Structure 1
Amino acid sequence: MTAHPRPDGHMTNGDVSFWFAQMGGPPPQRSPLPGDTEVDVAIVGAGFTGLWAAYYLLSQAPSLKVALIERAFAGFGASGRNGGWCTGNFAWNRDRYLHGGGTRAGVMALETQLRATVDEICRVAQAEGIDGGIRRTDCVTYACSPAQMARLRAERDTALDWGVPRDRLALIGGTEAGARIRIAGAEGALVEHGVARIQPARLVRGLAEAVERRGAAIHEGTTVTEIAPGRVRTDRGTVRARHILRATEGFTPGLRGHARTWLPLNSAQIATAPLPAAMWEQIGWSGFELMGDASHAYCYAQRTDDGRIVIGGRGVPYRFGSATDRNGETQPATVAALRAILQRLLPQTRDLPIEHAWCGVLGVPRDWCATVGLDPRSGIGWAGGYVGIGVSTSNHAGRTLADLVLGRDTERTGLPWVNRQPRLWEPEPLRWLAVHGMYRLYAAADRREAARRPTTTSRLARLADRLCGR
């Protein structure tokens, strides 16, 4: 389906995301929890993590009674609002896993398995008849300054040192980078092969339907008030279960006892009107690549099947007290900032209307490293902290949760992110000051690198990294 601009010509702000608008709006809500019930596995949150966990549980043990409990509707959170990047990567510091007791071989195995998730998601989508708008392509990260190019070169070299196959990555010069997408001032780019572009709402809705076909119950419009061993309390009744999986990602701080577990970092996006064919001729982008840049306040973008550009980045990075947005609404200043980034990278879009803006939250652990685990004594499991790279990571997390619940010793259950417990975030106002201070420093570093054209990363950015433990 094609999203249409509002009759009054104004931009739509919120309404969850453009991806749902493209499908005709949010889906009809499933029935809430009918009252007290008992199941084998209760999953809190019906986004990618919870749905993948249910899918693999029921694939391996069809007789299980599985229920997903969702406050809004399946895909309401980051799963239905993200930038549509399915890369097989996630943001992390490899050394943190080593310091936490992992081995170099274990970290390399984790990376190898995560890369395979792109193929796995494509396999499941085909097997289940899910039209997730999946297109196999490359991810191209552009450098528009010498310092940015140096960071891409270092990223490539580090990845190769950690065993990433040489045919996975390619560092290209400005001429070749411009032949792909005509980014203004491009000095080069890092190309990653083997990734995919998706339409998030279509993928998550299709996955929810596949999970239901396998026998799971999805209870929407049901707010969880407490998770405790053996039970999930909600405003609609209590669910009793031997195993309970917390799959709430950026919304985790809203649960009792988890205010400092993960930090809900905000990310915002805008969708343009469809570009005229002549403008696409000027821009290129014929390969539908995922596109980003190497600035500190980075952006991420895709070209949609209906000829739009969707671009995202940080707006207000964090709301005091771990507050979240209202139905995806974002600030006018954020929309203006994203539009300025788009016009800086692609000046051809200067007069192009913006038809939709929205935002969402992503979960950030204190050490910026994702985790998945299960406490065998309490029966409570969890997964998340994807730091914005969750489309593919959530697939592997859900698969791992299924293994842990079923008590299976697999190639996944011994990886260094399993049962990892990072320390808590600081109380307010310290975390608000730290996060806002971090992004002010990143913005200043970007300005300095653009103006002075150094060949190394600004010291301000290094200070920002230390400030929040990145």
Structure 2
Amino acid sequence: MSFWLESLGPVERRSALPGDRDADVAVVGGGYTGLWTAYYLARARPDLRIVVLEAEFCGFGASGRNGGWASGLFPVSEATLTRRCGADAAKAMHAALADAVDEIGRTGIECDYAKGGVISLIRTPGQLRRAPADRLDAAATRAICDATGVLGGVYSEHCAALHPAKLVRGLAEAAERLGVTIHEDTRALTVTTGEVVTDRGTVRADVVVRALEGYTAELPGHRRDLAPIYSLMIATEPLPPSVWDRIGLRRRETFTDERRLIIYGQRTADDRLAFGGRGAPYHFGSRVRPEYDRVPAVFGRLRHTVQELFGIEVPVAHRWGGPLGIPRDWMPSVGLRDGVAWAGGYVGDGVAASNLAGRTLTDLILGHDTDLTRLPWVGHRSRRWEPEPLRWLGINGGLHGTALLDALDR
């Protein structure tokens, strides 16, 4: 359990699928992507029979344990997207993601939403050389987040800090109020055109939505679609006002730095530091196991990084982790083909992107031609990951190489 889920108390599971049934839309996955899709579909078409199928409980995956960043970030840079799709398409993609940050706030779902933006700290000469020209100087950066060794920073307003488990739980309840049926403890075994076969029965539907993100590789036929890469987090006890007076983050700005191996953090609504990062190994065969959520060495490195960033002793109270989904070209996608819709591959930036994906899938399923359905990620198909052992060697080699480059930077 993540700190976020633990803070809400025991999970009361919804009933499992009671047997075979028919629906208009069957959504596989009770995380943000599946629930936003169900929510917006039900708002647009209250007459639709929409069923969400979740193997555990809503928010069990990344939606209940992420860093709490609703950001306008996209894993493919605007320059790369411009080369692939053109300048107008790239700008439209980034504008739509920025709007998705605000859209989450507009829904009114209570989730400790605070749009303070994101500050990326520049802390080495190498990072300074790579930083964009419109960066903040050291003084302006420290006024937002007073970390050690700051040389400058890059600020974007397009990010909100939030409580991810409150968002996913509130979203599930909002979808149910609109008439969506959610069955938990119901594991999908196969997803094909016209039906989802589960361990509790078969749901026949005109449209099936696959929204499994980091667990996609467990579905037969999808082992090489998305690589499950682990991201781990820690959270402190609430820190005293004197510490926050020094660190800053007064508007609950989220924070990272310009290193290559991603780190991310936020000041929670109850004044904890929640901090995470990559670095846990990829597991052979795209395996996903509960024991992979906890890697003591990675937790130790996260604690050390926080202490080095802020020059404080960190009273760690919670440790957790889990997989996220990474496509071979790092390009998230949404689409609908032959009655099967999909969305995902967010590379860890899925809180706002999943909201955009849910609205886009709604338009695709209803057959509407809109600005959203013309975005460059619609219909995109990433090349599949290599077979093993090449996948294991390549991904873990990349992780070690990235960590080495950061060490050389320092």
Question: Do they fold alike, i.e. is TM over 0.5?
Answer: yes
1:59 counterpart = 2:43: yes
Counterpart in 1 of 2:120?
141
Superposed CA offset, 1:228-276 (max 9, x none): 1111000000000010000111110000000000111110000011112
Counterpart in 1 of 2:402?
442
Identity rate, percent: 44
| Corresponding residue to 1:87 among 58, 71, 75 | 71
Question: Aligned partners of 1:116 and 1:150: how far apart in 2?
Answer: 30
Give aligned pairs, total: 410
Letter in 2 for 1:254: E
Letter in 1 for 2:43: S
Counterpart in 2 of 1:105?
88
| Corresponding residue to 2:98 among 115, 133, 140 | 115
Q: Secondary structure at 2:166's aligned position in 1?
A: helix
Counterpart in 1 of 2:130?
151
Would you say the 8 A contact 2:230–2:293 is kept in 1? no
Question: Aligned partners of 1:320 and 1:401: how far apart in 2?
Answer: 32
Question: Aligned partners of 2:242 and 2:374: how far apart in 1?
Answer: 52
Give runs of aligned pairs for residues 394-409 of structure 1, distance below 5 A. Answer: 394-409=354-369
Q: Secondary structure at 1:116's aligned position in 2?
A: helix
Q: Given the superposition, is the C-alpha separation of residues 117 and 273 from structure 1 closer, same or farther in structure 2, using an over 3 Å criterion? A: same
1:356 counterpart = 2:356: no
Letter in 2 for 1:136: K
Q: CA deviation at 1:298?
A: 2.4
Counterpart in 1 of 2:23?
39
Letter in 2 for 1:69: L
Q: CA deviation at 1:112?
A: 1.2
Which consecutive residues of structure 1, in runs of 5 or more, have no partner in the other structure? 1-14, 158-169, 451-470
Q: Secondary structure at 1:338's aligned position in 2?
A: helix
Q: CA deviation at 1:97?
A: 4.6
Counterpart in 2 of 1:373?
335
Q: Secondary structure at 1:241's aligned position in 2?
A: strand
| Corresponding residue to 2:247 among 279, 283, 286 | 283
Output the TM-score relative to the length of structure 1.
0.85
Counterpart in 2 of 1:388?
348
Would you say the 8 A contact 1:80–1:204 is kept in 2? yes
Question: Aligned partners of 1:406 and 1:175: how far apart in 2?
Answer: 51
| Corresponding residue to 1:301 among 257, 265, 271 | 265
Counterpart in 2 of 1:456?
none
Give runs of aligned pairs for residues 180-219 of structure 1, distance below 5 A. Answer: 180-219=144-183
Superposed CA offset, 1:77-123 (max 9, x none): 111111011112221144655666x3321221111111111111111
Would you say the 8 A contact 1:267–1:317 is kept in 2? no
Would you say the 8 A contact 2:54–2:187 is kept in 1? yes
Letter in 2 for 1:50: G
1:132 counterpart = 2:117: no
Q: Secondary structure at 1:295's aligned position in 2?
A: coil
Superposed CA offset, 1:123-181 (max 9, x none): 11x2xxx211101102000011111122221xxx6xxxxxxxxxxxx621112212222
Counterpart in 1 of 2:4?
19
Superposed CA offset, 1:426-457 (max 9, x none): 0111111111111111111111111xxxxxxx
Letter in 2 for 1:22: S
Question: Aligned partners of 1:319 and 1:302: how far apart in 2?
Answer: 28
Q: Which moved more, 1:103-112 or 1:269-278?
A: 103-112
Which consecutive residues of structure 2, in runs of 5 or more, have no partner in the other structure? none
Question: Aligned partners of 1:336 and 1:444: how far apart in 2?
Answer: 18
Q: Given the superposition, is the C-alpha separation of residues 400 and 233 from structure 1 closer, same or farther in structure 2, using an over 3 Å criterion? A: same
Output the TM-score relative to the length of structure 2.
0.97
Q: Secondary structure at 2:290's aligned position in 1?
A: coil
| Corresponding residue to 2:309 among 338, 345, 351 | 345
Question: Aligned partners of 1:89 and 1:235: how far apart in 2?
Answer: 37
Q: CA deviation at 1:285?
A: 2.4
Question: Aligned partners of 2:161 and 2:36: how far apart in 1?
Answer: 18
Would you say the 8 A contact 1:143–1:294 is kept in 2? yes
Question: Aligned partners of 1:282 and 1:448: how far apart in 2?
Answer: 29
Q: Secondary structure at 2:242's aligned position in 1?
A: helix
Counterpart in 2 of 1:316?
280
Question: Aligned partners of 2:81 and 2:145: how far apart in 1?
Answer: 36
Would you say the 8 A contact 1:91–1:389 is kept in 2? yes
| Corresponding residue to 1:430 among 387, 390, 393 | 390
Q: Given the superposition, is the C-alpha separation of residues 95 and 67 from structure 1 closer, same or farther in structure 2, using an over 3 Å criterion? A: same
Question: Aligned partners of 1:176 and 1:97: how far apart in 2?
Answer: 30
Would you say the 8 A contact 2:261–2:279 is kept in 1? no
Question: Aligned partners of 1:260 and 1:328: how far apart in 2?
Answer: 19
Question: Aligned partners of 1:88 and 1:97: how far apart in 2?
Answer: 15
Q: CA deviation at 1:281?
A: 2.4
Q: CA deviation at 1:279?
A: 2.0
